[in-house]
Amino acid sequence: MPDIQTEIFTKVLPKMQLNNLNFDDDVGTQQTVTVETSDKSLSVMQQIWEFVNVNPGLTAGQISKQMDGQTHTGISTRLNQLLKANKLMRTKKPDESYRWFSIGDTYPRMDKSASLALAVKARQEKLERKAKAKAKKVAKAAAPQVAAPAPTNTWDVDMMLSKMSITQARGMYDALKKIFGA
């Protein structure tokens, strides 16, 4: 029985289309990427910022390939979060890819007191909206109800007969005849 290497080179590889393969030892426009061991005490966001700071101009795909244990989706999401927080910037190259760059030399620390103040303010606004809605509901329930007009009990035979049609009057006559018997 032939060995596996011989089988692969004689039967498998000739059937595969290997025209556009790029090998690691090809010299071309490859970028050198510095990978530093990340400090485990840093948050993922801070690790990504540090990586982009050391390796500016990489795409999200290149960053996700170089950062172990991170998915492309997770890296892309965090890059966009850092972009919205003005901690990173990106540029669009002619090949329609975004290149990422850090802003500043050190990771900008988040002011926890400012974010706490925003959270407290949002909570107070929510409570105020609930209180207004409840007060409006109570006011609506307590509003005086407009009473229906009281029925008038004043009537006479001529008024009733004037409002009835001939058919209705005949029906009334027959009903009264049954009740009172004539």
Quick count: other Cβ atoms within 10 Å of Cβ 67?
Answer: 18
d(CA 88, CA 46): 11
CATH number for 56:
1.10.10.10
Q: One-letter amino acid identity for 146?
A: V
Q: How many domains does the chain have?
A: 1
164 part of a folded domain: no
Domain membership of residue 59 as a residue range: 32-122
68 part of a folded domain: yes
Mind listing the pLDDT tens digit for each residue in 110-165?
667 777 888 899 999 999 999 999 988 888 777 777 777 776 666 777 888 888 89
108 part of a folded domain: yes
Contacts of 6 (CB under 8 A, 6+ apart): none
Phi then psi for 155, rounded to 5 degrees? -155, 160
23 pLDDT band, cuts 50/70/90, is: very low
Mind listing the pLDDT tens digit for each residue in 54-98?
888 888 888 888 887 778 888 889 999 888 888 889 888 888 888
Residue 106 is encoded by which pair of tokens?
């050190």
96 part of a folded domain: yes
Contacts of 60 (CB under 8 A, 6+ apart): 72, 75, 76, 79, 98, 100
d(CA 104, CA 53): 8
1 part of a folded domain: no
How many residues are recorded in the chain?
182
